[in-house]
Structure 1
Amino acid sequence: MAIVFPSQIALVLFTLCFLTVASDVPVMKNIDINKMAGKWYPVRTATPESSPRPIHAFTLETTGSGGITMNIEIPQKGACTMKKVALTNVSPGVFTSPEGKATVMDTDYKSYFFAELSKDNTRILVLYARKKKVDKKVKKKFRGIVKNSGLKTAHRLKLRKEDMCS
């Protein structure tokens, strides 16, 4: 009979957990980041939390080094604060910054994209669109990704005029 040490069990469990988490999120590997430049609005989110965190509209700019800059519009008491976040491309479709990690899951470039935003143990899936509304087929596709990710529900964001800078 073989002796199994606790460290071996921990290593196996860690590997299984890592593989499970890594397989939850599809990554669009053949992404053309230049086609993603421009304005994006959040339409739906999915989180393990009961009340979703605020997600804001932003303008995406590409950098010469293959990275991206997000100019995030944060509405505050009738004014709009802009926050610039530079993200570095660490692998196709995956970008990081001190703010966390952004994974592009799917896009058609002209109307929508799905992203996973994560930092530490927090994870949010977001459906962004060029306009404040998207086609029913896109919503259905997003719900499928949410279901496959292990999250329970996609929350519709109610975008009020005072929640948007533009």
Structure 2
Amino acid sequence: MIIATAGHVDHGKTHSLQALTGTNADRLPEEQKRGLTIDLGYAFMPYLSAITQQQETLGFIDVPGYEKFLSNMLAGVGTAHHAMLIVAGDEGMMAQSYEHLAILRLLAMDSLTVGDHHVRSHHSRATTAARSTAHSTLISARLYRAADLSLLNYNRRWH
């Protein structure tokens, strides 16, 4: 299965993939220097299939969130079977979050996982409000039904 990231610039898509897979998908020297995804990045995660009882691999495509690189984002999500929308827990839904959601909906993406990326170790009122807004936006805008969403929380301190 191929899973593409989606979300606003600097909301933790690459960090989240690194936490899941151990791979920094930002491979270009300029990406490393700027701390900004420019081109598509790839990461893989082995898992034991419950159906076949054999080792399988999940493939992840890390897409840029910056609006200047929207064409690269489109190239990355076009072949994915599933999307993982990363939302910064302290900021909530932002411009590219909505833009990426609209693109995923137009591509008729089967399912979506919402990753709540915490950049701080505590749960503030702002974080709770941001989470609530993200969830209600997805449901009320009829972008996804509650049954299509799985929620994934990242509660890790990033240094």
Task: State the TM-score, normalized to the length of structure 1.
Answer: 0.40
Pick the structure with more strand per residue: 1
Bigger-Rg structure (1/2)? 1
Task: State the TM-score, normalized to the length of structure 2.
Answer: 0.41
Pick the structure with more helix per residue: 2
